[in-house]
Amino acid sequence: MTDWIAAALILAGGFFCLVAGLGVVRMKDVYARMHAATKAGTLGLALICLAVMVQAETWLQVVEALFVFLFMIATAPIGAHLIGRAAFRTGAPLDPRTRLDPGAAAFRLSPADPAAPGAPGPRAAGTGTSPQSSSR
C-alpha cells in the first residue's frame, strides 16, 4: 500500500516540477517566471520528499528528506524575493498586461542606495577622504 502512495506522490511531485519548468520557459517576464519556479517547484519537491518519507526504511532517511524540504522552504522565498527586487530596481521589462501601483517608482534605486547612479563613492576607512588623497 505504501508503494502506491509513494508512487502517487512522486507522480504528483514530478507533475508540479514539470509545470514549474514549463512556467519558466513560457512566461513572459521575470516576475511570472520567478513565481512559477518557486511556487510549483517547491510544491513538487515537497511531494517528492513526502514520498521519500513514506518509503523510508530508517528514521535517518525521514530526517534527511525533512531537512531537504525545510531547506527548500527556507531558501526559495528569500531567493525569489531577491531576484524580484533586483529585477524591479534595475527596470526589467514587464509583460504589457502588468499593472503597477502608482507609488511603485519610489521603490526603484534611491539616491541613498550605494548602487544608485550618482551615489557617493567608497571612502578610505575612518579618514573621510578618498584613498588617492591620503598622505604616505
Tens of pLDDT, residue by residue over 21-51, are: 999 999 888 988 998 889 999 999 999 999 9
pLDDT bracket for residue 112 (50, 70, 90)? low
C-alpha cell at position 114? 550605494
List pLDDT tens digits, range 65-87.
Answer: 999 999 999 999 899 999 888 88
How much is the pLDDT for 109? 61
Average pLDDT over the chain, rounded to whole? 82
**Type of residue numbered 106:** A
pLDDT beyond 70 at 123 = no
Q: How far, in Å, CA of 91 to CA of 19, rounded?
A: 27
Q: Please name the residues in contact with 14: beta carbons below 8 A apart, sequence gap of 6 or more.
A: 44, 48
Interaxial angle between packed helices 30-55 and 59-89, expressed in degrees from 0 to 180 and rounded to the nearest 10: 180
